[in-house]
Structure 1
Amino acid sequence: MRNFVATLACAAALWPAGSVSAAAASGDVAAVWALEGRYWSAVAAHDDTAYRSLFHEEFIGWPCGQDAPRPKSWISVSTLKMGPDSPDLDQRAATGGRDLIVVYYRATDQAPQPDGSLKRRVRAFTHSWIRTVSGWQVIGGMCRDA
């Protein structure tokens, strides 16, 4: 019994206070969704400068079809070759706190095929955005075929 009480006391001492896990303000969530739109506009325009500005220097993401996560330098080069149009985004969920927001969505676009034709493609994305001194930036992400 004494061990149980000691364990419970330790767990209570380590449990984060309510103010530490403050919910994200709806304005912050809206701002991050707007940045997702800018992300895809930069991809469609093949605008490397605008695209790279959205990513934190420590970014690591797992691109669709890859066997491992990749750093910002790799993601930038490959993502700009994804396709000729901006996808339709289907926002699924967002969660987070004061300095971190994670978004989940599906993106539907037309993928170029080897013969030059286009084929409908649906992928699922998650991006983790952190608040920095210069604004929100993507710190992590993952893609999968949906």
Structure 2
Amino acid sequence: MKRVTVLGIATLALANGPAPSRQVDAVWEQEQAYWQAKVGQDNAVYQQLWHPAFVGWPCGFKEPVSIRPPLMVPDAVKRSYVMDTKAATEAPNLVTVFYHVRETDVLPDGKVEIIDNDITHTWVPTPAGWKIISGMCKQHDQAAH
């Protein structure tokens, strides 16, 4: 319980801290590119966002993985997203961001599915731009404080 309280205070401090740096702004732009590619099923952009040494814990997985995400298979689902940025922190060669995302999927039969997740990504600069080197996803808990 003490660990959660400390994390909550640290996150609050980050959220209320000084204005974001150029590094942090650049990474938030990459997060937008990530979601635009994901909902648009743009594999060319999506696959370029990952560092070759990526390790992460995707939503729905029982264990962390050390592979890049598979190619998305195009389908007729109409997707959109809304991102709610929560916090970011940086060091000279990395930026970690925390956010909530709501993906809305409209299926071909008109049924609507809402997917709420909390995401953490750590990005590192490379000669080819910022790349995701680690991350974690969890289903959003509406009741959590």
Q: When the two structures are superposed, what TM-score results if normalisation uses the length of structure 1?
A: 0.72
Amino-acid identity (%): 34
Aligned-residue RMSD, C-alpha: 2.3
- Aligned 8 A contact 1:48 1:80 in 2: no
Separation in 2, partners of 1:112, 1:69: 29
- Aligned 8 A contact 1:43 1:79 in 2: no
Are residues 1:54 and 2:49 paired?
yes
How has the CA–CA distance of structure 1 residues 80 and 106 changed in structure 2, closer, same or farther, with 3 Å as cutoff? farther
Residues matched between the structures, number: 119
How has the CA–CA distance of structure 1 residues 80 and 38 changed in structure 2, closer, same or farther, with 3 Å as cutoff? farther
Aligned pair partner of 1:69 in 64, 73, 76: 64
1:41 maps to what in 2?
36
1:142 maps to what in 2?
136
In the alignment, structure 1 segments of 5+ residues that lack a partner are 1-24
In the alignment, structure 2 segments of 5+ residues that lack a partner are 1-19, 141-145
- Aligned 8 A contact 1:48 1:76 in 2: no
1:132 maps to what in 2?
126
1:91 maps to what in 2?
85
Are residues 1:32 and 2:27 paired?
yes
More helix by share: 1
Q: How far is 1:116 from its partner?
A: 6.3
Q: When the two structures are superposed, what TM-score results if normalisation uses the length of structure 2?
A: 0.72
Q: How far is 1:80 from its partner?
A: 7.6
- Aligned 8 A contact 2:105 2:112 in 1: yes
- Per-residue CA shift, 1:102-140, capped at 9, x if unaligned? 000000122468x86222221000000011122210001
SS at structure 2 position matched to 1:85: strand
Q: 2:33 is matched by which residue type in structure 1?
A: R
SS at structure 1 position matched to 2:79: coil
Q: How far is 1:84 from its partner?
A: 3.2
- Greater Rg, structure 1 or structure 2? 1
Separation in 2, partners of 1:54, 1:70: 16
